[in-house]
Each structure stands twice: as structure tokens, then as C-alpha cells.
Structure 1
Amino acid sequence: MTKTAPDSGRREFLRQVASTAVLGAGLAGCSSPAVNSAERKAVQFQHGVASGDPLQDRVILWTRVTPAPETANVEHMVYWQVATDAAMQLVVAQGSHTTSAAQDYTVKIDAAGLLPGHVYYYQFASDGVRSVVGRTKTLPRADVHQVRLAVFSCSNYPAGYFNVYADAARQNDIDVALHIGDYIYEYESTGYASSNAAALGRVSEPRELLLQLEDYRRRYAQYRSDPDLQALHAVLPFITVWDDHEFADDTWRDGAAAHEARKHGPFALRKQAAMTAYHEWLPIRVPDPASPQKIYRSFDFGTVLSLHMLDTRLVGRDQQLLMSSYYDSRRQFDVEKFRHDVASPRRQMLGSEQMVWLEQQVQKSEARWQVLGQQVLMARMEYPLAIAMGQCSCTDYAALKLRSGREPAALGKREQGWLAAAVTLPCYMDSWDGYQNDREQVFGMMQRHRKNMVVLAGDTHNAWASDLHDAQGRQIGVEFATASVTSPGMEGLYRDRDPDDVAAMMVDLIAPLYYAQTSKRGYMIITASHEQVRCDWRFVDTVMQREFTAATERSLRTLPGPGNRRIEECARS
């Protein structure tokens, strides 16, 4: 495995971005006076720069000023410029913006008047101090031939270094970074995946569980202090959606599994605090400022793909079902009632308004591919009944299948019954498996409008690829799911087993599953053209130290048209 080296021009730009030197002069053409380097700076740009939500003629630009203590309670004027060169000499747009403690000193500019498919550079200045230069790109014209997306999920600061971001920042020819949820985690400093945090120098701040607006702001500030995340933001525009950990574990519309109202206060207040901090710290354009909870939106990359960013978490989701509630007093599981409830039309994942919006977007799109950027697995991840009921483990069931082929007479009656049972059940109710009617509605709209669908997912910390079939078994599309940036995967559940054997076991047990990687941290690179959509899974060898190597370990693709729309092999690039 080898590190990917950027071209010399991009390498130099990354070197400049990584530099933490504060430049003395203000932006050219701005009336911000120079500051003597010996003087105390009124502000600093400690959290870098970012861009996001590109359109053909505009892009969101983001930064944050960190004021000196004596200027913490005053407003700060921030100047911005957009140029066609990294030296910031050929300026095409500029302006100023006032920020203060009311928005946590963050700055968001919707820079308009740009050209389609162009690379631009941008910079901020305040009180004579300049930020690093950022690089961004607008959406292309209709005649674009190829689109490349880098897809990330589940970046837990105390769980390890952001080497995945560092590797992605070195890549060439990526158009946009997609972060499809769990950009931060809300746990206290001794919470999930924190056992190595002190040794790594990555103990969560604040130390307490995030509940108030200031708590979420401090956590975003800590994440955005990371140099690898800053580097990636500085070279690529981001398109993001939230998942549960930007709020609380297993969030739904009116609550969360990890939120206790008597202990933590009203969930509505916590949700508002988390949402406010998200909009302050992420370079996202709100489609409707009057309804900041509605972040579903679409991006058209010419006639190659339409990207529909969905909110499967907050705006419409009903509370998750609990399998434990389907056991009677004799500890018998009511399979029929369970299957009826998970498929009930009353259970919603997206909500009716978002579902109508999605169909409108899909119907009017002229792109070859309809790509859903969203949080949780859409594929059917159903296990044999004996596993779902906890009667045997995945390992024991897989071994039992092998024994049945070699020595069937040696199987006991109970074991024979496990293998003979034709029923499979979903076990993870937080995914689309727990909202099956909404999943069928999405499949139905793709069928009605004869669209080629690719679903992107995260959430589980593991990499997956699955064929998507509707309830009648018809092939609808494919799903590519990314591994996590740092959060641990299934390796912790199978410490004594070869990870490749565990992945092979998952593929064997789950019918639609084509590929699994259950022990490594990484991301996906999606390359779309009119001819195919290709997914390259890229993994780093460690997140426990700064030095790492990275490699593309698997590549799969799908082809358009009703006779295709399924996963197939392709050669490595």
C-alpha cells in the first residue's frame, strides 16, 4: 500500500493551506489596516476555511474568527474575496460581513455571480489578519462527462486521527466531498470509543454530554481545529446532511433513544441547540430560512447525475420499533405482528412532505443517475430467524451451514429446524429496514419514472455493497455504503476471527449483500459517467498514529438501464 501523492501544483496549494502562519496585511482592495506582527492580534482564523453547497453560479463560503479576550463582546467586520488564482490576484467577487457572539463568530457567505464548472479560490480577512486560501468548485454545465464524489461518515474525534480526511485531501480530480452524517459525536469525554483518547491527545471537549447550544459549539470548534479536517475543507466544497450524533444517539422526530427528558430537559430545546450549531459551523445553504430543520435539497451535476440529499433522521422519522416489545409473557416472539408493523404505511422515515419533494425532483431530473445521499442503510439486512431471535450467533449459524453440507446426519433436530426456517427478519430498526413502506415508496417512484438509482449510505462504520430489490423481488438499483472515518466497526465483536472471514460470513448470511469490509476505516470515491457509476473503497491502515498508508482495496460498479442496475465487478483503477 502506498500513499497517494498529489501533483506538484496541488501539493504546493496543500502546503500553503497547512501553514498556520498569520499574514499581516489585509486583503488587497479591502480597507483593513495592516497589523504589526509584534502587536496582539484582535482576531485569529483558528478553524480554517470551508466551502459548500455549490451550484452553477454560487457557493457557500465559511470561516470563523476567534477574537482576543478583550474583543470577545464586540462585532467583527470580516472581508472576503473570490479569485480565479491561488495568489488571489484575479478577484471576481468580494464583500464584507459582520459577525459576533450571536452566531459564535462564524461567517457564511453565499458568493454568487460565478461561472459553472470553474475552480475558484477564496480568502477572508479581519482586523488586518488574513485566513489561509481555500479552493472550491462550482457545479458543471450540462455537457460534463464525469463526476467524482468522496463520501464520508462517522468521524468520532476521540476514536482516532482523521487520516481518512488527510488521504482524501491529497486526491486529484474529486469534485465534491459528501459527508452523510455523524460529523461530530455528542457523547461525554468518557463515552463511546474514548479508551485511547487521552493517549492520542483527543479527549472530547466539553467533557460533559452535549445538551446546550454552547456545548455543541465547543464540540464543533474542537473538531474543526483538526488539521486534516481543515485541509479537506480547504480544498473541496462539502455537501452535508446530519445523522443522529449531531443531536443524540438514535434521534427521531420528537426524541432520541439516548435522551431522558427528566434528566436532560425537553428534547425540543436540545434539538434546537444542536441544529443551530450545525448551521453555524457547516457550509450549508438552508433551502428555507424559515424552516432550518428542512435540509433536504438537490444538486445537478449536468446530465450525469442528480444528487438528492435526504434527511432520514429528523424532519419526518417516527420513533424506532423495539424488537423486545414483540415478545409475549411466555417469551414467544410474534413474527407476524412484527412484520406487519415494520411494513405499516403509518410508519414514516422521510415524512410525507419530503417524499413528495423527492418524487418531484426525480421526475423532473434529466440526469442519467439519481443518487440519494443519505444516512442509513436502505438495503435489506435481514438475518435467518434463529439469529434474529438470538437462538444462535452468526458464527454458529455459519458453522452449522457448513456442517449440514458435510455431515447432515450429525445435526440435531433443533439445528435442522434453524436451517429449515425460511423466515428472515431485520434486526436493526434504525435503518430503512424499520420503515419498509417508505422504502417501497422510494423504489416505486424510481420504477414509475424509469430511473437509474444509486443509494449512498453510512452510519454502521462498516463498508457494504448491496443490490436493492423491492418487495416483489424486482431489481431497483444498488447501494454503496462507506466505512467510518474513525468510529470502530465490527472488529470489536469478532476479536478472535479473521476480518475477511467475518466479512465473508456476512455476505453469506444476508441475501442482497454483495460485499462487506467490517474492520477498516475509510471512505468511498464515486465516479459517475453516462456509462456507469463506479465505487472505489479506500481504506487507511491505522487511525491510532499520524503516519499511515492508504489504498483502494475494492472497486465495484453498476450500469444503467432496466436490464442492469445491479452490482458487478470492475477492474481497479
Structure 2
Amino acid sequence: MNANDKNNPSPSPESAGPSRRRFVAATAAMALGSGLGLSACGGGHDEDKQLFGYGVASGDPLSDRVIIWTRANNTGGAVPVEWQVATDAAFANVLKSGTATADVSRDYTVKVDVTGLQPATTYFYRFKAGGNFSPTGRTKTLPVGNPQQVKIGVFSCAAYSLGQFHAYAHAVNRGDLDVALMLGDYIYETGLTNVEQAAAFALGREADPQGELHTLFEYRQRYARYHTDADLRALRASMPIIAVWDDHEIVNDTWRDGAGGHDPATEGSFAERRGSAAQAWHEWLPTRDDPDPLKIYRSFDFGNLLSLHMLDTRVVGRDAPLNRDTFLTTADAPGRQLLGPVQAAWLDAQMQASTATYQVLGNQVLMGRMRIPLSVYDNFTEDSINEFLVALDTPAASRTPTQAALVAQPRIGYELTNWDGFGAAREALFASARAKDKNLVVVSGDSHNAWASNLKDASGASIGVEFGTPSVTSTGLEITHTNVGRQFLADSFVRMIPDLKFAETSHRGYHVLTLTPASATGEWVFVSSVFDNSFTAFSGPVLRMLPGAANRVLVPA
């Protein structure tokens, strides 16, 4: 890290040249046209947009408090920032207020932990500096007692330069979500080639900086660029968010002591790079920060209905990644860690203490069994898939020796970094939930595609269910496996993997998890395209899990 990075704030939305200003104007116009604009309470003067151009946000809600966030764009000294929390959007009834300071040490971001609030209550908040007001944000505290419904939006993998954030726009417009979960890859640290940057420019979404991120200043620049997006700002202003990171907030394929995308010989200290990435993440996300900036796992109780446990499956505990050959010999090794012993013990204790109907895990990588035949992994074509499926569908007594060998062959995780690569750790988590008789619901990101799986332990006992959210924009299997027909690909995954009950691998979108005392229901929302300014949304299937040891499997809603 350059020694001067901490003294370099992020650029303002108006400071990056004409192309960026055109994009800001265009996205603002799109937001107003779709009803997503949030007007500043100070009258909408240009000064408001310049000072609070990155909007407002709230996050990490509890029953009596919530974090509120903004950024005061400045290149000079410290800025006193007033804040207000009210019961009404007109701020006729201001309940809480105070003053915070925005300065260079935190990139002029401000976070306030507003306490003394009432449960299950909607509040409005805003900031003021130099006589100018920020946009108004809306937030909500968590319930206590016996709530009858909680509705959660689940998002992951939003690559700014790969398309429009239509998933965010749709989630805001529906107006019925209590909270938004961000399961990671909120930004991407990767750089763009000149060709890729030109394509991004054509979308009005060029990267800033263009290269891969290494320093604190560069991570801050990338967050600033993402938050020029009107739909992201609208989402953050419309509901509280609860976020964890995945790998791309730091560097591709991050693990406890390094990353697949980081070469210490040419890129310097991984720990220093990780520290810069973590600092920028905490600066730009409305999180309630732990004294240890690398500790992001934490729990949220929604009354007696659900306990939400947000996990870190990347930084604090993950062992070194496996390759094809080491996966086959090491994936299920007893000592192999994903959460790490400290986080695993914390999760065990949290589930033990919770009396809620559901234990919901906010998790980055897919937890369900997603192992595919080795022959398909080595040669992912329609022919190899068909050859295996024909053998699988042939009665055992009628299989040829070749078919019998295909069915009996080893299986390997379709993605080696998933929980499939940490079999013993997964079994330990399942054993913990089963021993405590918990109704386990897992929501996962990272894969860019939509999935639903029954979670079963090695004995075949039903432990719970998993809903995998599609990406907001990042490319899915329809791009990475163009040699296989789209519908055939999704259908084949379900046929090859016994615990997998749904797959959609061609569209971007988000997931909605609705919890009531009677069921945990998952539905997917997909968008027609992320490359066009306009879009249509359509729904996938609706699947649910009923509570109780005799249930805990996916059934149609």
C-alpha cells in the first residue's frame, strides 16, 4: 500500500470527467423515470447532490437501533455532519439527532449507531452539512415477540461493468421487503482490458480505476464508482441492509492466508492488501463494526420467528484451495476448515441459544451437495452429460460394464471452493443443527446462478434447505458453458445431483425469502436483460420448507 493512500479520499461523482457525468445524469434520469428518485429534503439544489452524491444507507438493524450512513464529498478538512431520525418523511416528528464528523481518515464516510428506537418500526433519516440536506432514507427496526411474517431480499455478485443493476431497481419498486441481505461480491476488484473497458463504456459503466485494485485509494475509487449507480443508491436508501463480503471485495479466491488471485512476488503483502480492502468495505457499508475489522460474522434476531446468522466463509477460517486432484483425496479430510474453529463454535452457541422457529444462515458459497461425475467435470459437453445420464437411467442389472463404471465413478464439486470442498466441516454443521432439532434455512450467493437444494447429512437425514440466489449482473453458466444448451444445462444439473431440486442458469436477478410460522418460502425474480436500460421481470418457481423434524425438505408452494 502506498503510504499516502490514507490521505487520498475517493473522487466525487462529478470529478471523473464528462463520460462519468453523462452516466450520473443518465442513471438519475432512469431513476426518476421509474419512480426510484429520492428527493433531497433541502430542496434538491445542486449543492446537495455534490455534497451527498453517494446517497444514504442504513444497516445492521436490531430491535432498538440501526446504523445510518452517508458520505460527505470533500477534498479539504473535516466536515461536521448533522443527522436526524424521524417517524415521518417530512421530519415533523424528529426523535433522534446529533452531529458526527466526516474526515479523510474514513474517506469522509459517516456511520451513526442510532439507539433507543422501537421494535418493528419504520423510521426516516437524513443528514445535513453546510445548510444542505442529504436525500431522505427509510429504515426499519427488527421485531420482537411473535412476528407473523418477515420478507428478505437476497442479493449477490453485482459486477458494475457487466450490466445494469435492474435487480436492485425491481426490489425497491416492489416495496414489501423488510431487509436486504448482501451475500458478497458487492464490488469486484478485477481490472478490465482495453477491449473490456470499451465494452463497459458502451454501457456507460466503465471501471474506475480500470486496473485491478491493490491499494486503499483504489478500493475507495471502486466503491465510489459503484455508488454512482442510481438503483444501488435507491436500494440502500429504501431499506436496511445486512452485508457480508465474499472474495471479490478483497481479491479472487481469497482464503485465510492468501488468495488465488494474489501473487506476493509481484503484488506485495496479501495481509496489507486485505487490510485495505476491509477498511474500504467497512467505510462504504452500513455495518456495525467489530474492533477486529476482519470479524464480520454476527447474528440478528427477528423475534421468535428467525435468527439470522451471517457467516464468513472466506477470510477468517478457510483452508487453502484444492485443485482437481487434491479435491478427490482431501475434500472430506477431518481437519479441513471453512468457518474455522472459533466461528464454528460461535455458530454452534448461537443456534443453541436461539428459540426461533428458523435458523437462517447468510452464507457466501453453496452449501448443498453439488458434486458432479468426474467424466462430466473433465469434459463438460452435452455428449458426456448424456452418456452419464443414460447410464444413470438404465436399471443396474442392465448396465454395460462401461455404464456401471460411469455410475460408480468419483464425483467432484462443480465449483471446488464451495462447501463440497470441506465435507467434514459441513457434516459438523449439519450434526450441530440436527442435534439441536433446528429448522435450518441457508441462503447462498457466489455462484451467479439460481439453485435450490435439500440439505442432507451423510446418513441421508434431512437437515434443512438451501436457496441459491442468482447474480445481480455477473455472468452465469449461459456464458461460461456456451457449448451446452441453456435449458439442457439446467435440467442436467438437477438430474445429475440427487439433492438439487431446482436450477436456473441463464438469467440474472435476486431471491426473496419469506418466513412465517407455517413455512419458509423461497421465490426467485429474474430480469430479462442486464444490457438494456429497460427490462421485464419474471418469477421462477416458489418452493417452501415446513418446520419440524418430519419436514425440512423442499416442497412446491
Q: TM-score, normalised by structure 2?
A: 0.90
Tell me how far apart the structure 2 counterparts of residues 75 and 228 of structure 1 sit (CA, whole Å): 29
Change (3 A) 1:431 1:496: closer
Change (3 A) 1:437 1:18: same
Aligned to 1:55: 62
Tell me how far apart the structure 1 counterparts of residues 113 and 124 of structure 2 sit (CA, whole Å): 14
Q: Which residue type is aligned with residue 385 of structure 1? A: L
| 2:36 and 2:172 in contact (8 A); partners too | no
| 1:17 and 1:134 in contact (8 A); partners too | no
RMSD: 2.5
| 1:18 and 1:227 in contact (8 A); partners too | no
C-alpha deviation, 1:394, in angstroms:
4.8
Cα deviation, 1:76-114, whole Å, max 9, x if unaligned, reads 000000000011111000000011111100000001111
Tell me how far apart the structure 2 counterparts of residues 16 and 469 of structure 1 sit (CA, whole Å): 42
Tell me how far apart the structure 2 counterparts of residues 144 and 310 of structure 1 sit (CA, whole Å): 24
The correspondence for 2:542, drawn from 522, 546, 555, is 555
Q: Report the secondary structure of 2:356's partner residue.
A: coil
Aligned to 2:88: 85
The correspondence for 2:155, drawn from 129, 152, 158, is 152
Change (3 A) 1:234 1:463: same
Change (3 A) 1:468 1:546: same
Tell me how far apart the structure 2 counterparts of residues 404 and 208 of structure 1 sit (CA, whole Å): 47
Tell me how far apart the structure 1 counterparts of residues 392 and 295 of structure 2 sit (CA, whole Å): 53
| 1:14 and 1:231 in contact (8 A); partners too | no
Q: Report the secondary structure of 2:352's partner residue.
A: helix
| 2:388 and 2:403 in contact (8 A); partners too | no
Q: Does 1:462 align with 2:449?
A: yes
C-alpha deviation, 1:248, in angstroms:
0.3
Change (3 A) 1:439 1:402: closer
Aligned to 1:206: 209
Q: Does 1:179 align with 2:182?
A: yes
Cα deviation, 1:122-147, whole Å, max 9, x if unaligned, reads 00010111101000000012121110
Change (3 A) 1:407 1:557: closer
Q: How does 1:245-324 map to 2 (within 5 A)?
A: 245-286=248-289, 288-289=290-291, 291-324=292-325
| 2:297 and 2:310 in contact (8 A); partners too | yes
The correspondence for 1:378, drawn from 346, 367, 383, is 367
Structure 2: runs of 5+ lacking an equivalent: 1-30
Aligned to 1:424: 411
The correspondence for 1:356, drawn from 316, 341, 345, is 345
Cα deviation, 1:155-186, whole Å, max 9, x if unaligned, reads 00000000110000111221000000000000
C-alpha deviation, 1:193, in angstroms:
7.3
The correspondence for 2:516, drawn from 522, 529, 533, is 529
Change (3 A) 1:267 1:468: same
The correspondence for 1:515, drawn from 491, 502, 506, is 502
| 2:381 and 2:484 in contact (8 A); partners too | no
Aligned to 2:26: none
The aligned length equals 525
Tell me how far apart the structure 1 counterparts of residues 392 and 345 of structure 2 sit (CA, whole Å): 49
Aligned to 1:132: 135
Change (3 A) 1:104 1:517: same
Q: Which residue type is aligned with residue 478 of structure 2? A: E
Q: Report the secondary structure of 1:66's partner residue.
A: coil
| 1:17 and 1:133 in contact (8 A); partners too | no
C-alpha deviation, 1:295, in angstroms:
0.8
Q: How does 1:72-111 map to 2 (within 5 A)?
A: 72-111=75-114
Aligned to 2:482: 495
C-alpha deviation, 1:224, in angstroms:
1.1
Q: Report the secondary structure of 2:174's partner residue.
A: coil
C-alpha deviation, 1:450, in angstroms:
0.5
Change (3 A) 1:406 1:310: closer
Change (3 A) 1:195 1:505: farther
Tell me how far apart the structure 2 counterparts of residues 418 and 265 of structure 1 sit (CA, whole Å): 47
Q: How does 1:12-31 map to 2 (within 5 A)?
A: 15=35, 17-19=37-39, 23=43
Aligned to 2:21: none
| 1:467 and 1:475 in contact (8 A); partners too | yes
The correspondence for 1:346, drawn from 331, 335, 359, is 335
C-alpha deviation, 1:232, in angstroms:
0.6
Q: Report the secondary structure of 1:416's partner residue.
A: helix
Q: Which residue type is aligned with residue 113 of structure 2? A: D
Tell me how far apart the structure 2 counterparts of residues 461 and 79 of structure 1 sit (CA, whole Å): 40
Q: Report the secondary structure of 1:170's partner residue.
A: helix
| 1:42 and 1:127 in contact (8 A); partners too | no
Tell me how far apart the structure 1 counterparts of residues 393 and 444 of structure 2 sit (CA, whole Å): 38
Change (3 A) 1:59 1:563: same
| 2:41 and 2:133 in contact (8 A); partners too | no
Change (3 A) 1:322 1:385: closer
| 1:43 and 1:127 in contact (8 A); partners too | no
The correspondence for 1:44, drawn from 48, 51, 58, is 51
Q: TM-score, normalised by structure 1?
A: 0.87
Q: How does 1:224-235 map to 2 (within 5 A)?
A: 224-235=227-238
Q: Which residue type is aligned with residue 372 of structure 2? A: Y
Change (3 A) 1:451 1:196: same
Tell me how far apart the structure 2 counterparts of residues 143 and 273 of structure 1 sit (CA, whole Å): 41
Tell me how far apart the structure 2 counterparts of residues 353 and 361 of structure 1 sit (CA, whole Å): 12
Q: Which residue type is aligned with residue 71 of structure 2? A: R
Cα deviation, 1:225-246, whole Å, max 9, x if unaligned, reads 1000001111010000000000
Change (3 A) 1:323 1:422: closer
Structure 1: runs of 5+ lacking an equivalent: 1-10, 25-36, 327-337
Percent identity reads 46
Change (3 A) 1:460 1:192: farther
Tell me how far apart the structure 1 counterparts of residues 49 and 489 of structure 2 sit (CA, whole Å): 55
Q: Which residue type is aligned with residue 373 of structure 1? A: G
C-alpha deviation, 1:396, in angstroms:
1.8
| 1:148 and 1:526 in contact (8 A); partners too | yes
Tell me how far apart the structure 2 counterparts of residues 90 and 416 of structure 1 sit (CA, whole Å): 73
Q: Which residue type is aligned with residue 62 of structure 2? A: L
| 1:457 and 1:481 in contact (8 A); partners too | yes
Q: Does 1:64 align with 2:67?
A: no
Q: Higher Cα Rg: structure 1 or 2? A: 1
Tell me how far apart the structure 1 counterparts of residues 205 and 175 of structure 2 sit (CA, whole Å): 29
Change (3 A) 1:417 1:76: same
Q: Report the secondary structure of 1:284's partner residue.
A: coil
